[in-house]
Structure 1
């Protein structure tokens, strides 16, 4: 069973979708991938919480900052021709 849904998307997304021969299949696959990702994330958080780890928005923000800094250093190393 399927239902027709109308959505508004940004121009760059619409341009990408225009190149797809089957937009419904493309969007369905993308959304199912996202749903699986969210389910895995929730399961991982439950597993870590059961093991005693606590998540705070401040801690998550702190780790996102650290990861972004690490990625920036990696990218800078690649641009200078160094091994990542």
Structure 2
């Protein structure tokens, strides 16, 4: 297991619940992406990564008090 992941898990009082929640969020994202594909949106890993970068750049400008 990568060190950064092990360090994060070590902070959790209930590792099993934390992992289950994390997997459920991934599953929900998968369902959302599948639903979007079914209605005609073309989602690629590169496109999602670019959208994430743009969002990361935009958020601090819009809400400078948030610590992201």
Structure 1 length normalisation: TM-score?
0.59
Pairwise CA RMSD: 2.7
Which 5+ residue runs of structure 1 have no aligned equivalent?
1-6, 21-25, 80-84
* Paired position in structure 2 for 1:42: 30
What are the superposed Cα offsets for residues 8-64 of structure 1, whole Å, 9 maximum, x if unpaired? 8557447635xx4xxxxx001001101211110111011000001111122112101
Moved over 6 A (4+): none
Does 2:48 match 1:60?
Answer: yes
CA distance in 2, matches of 1:62, 1:51: 21
Q: What is the aligned partner in structure 2 of residue 4 from structure 1?
A: none
| Structure 2: gaps (5+ residues) | none
TM-score (norm 2): 0.71
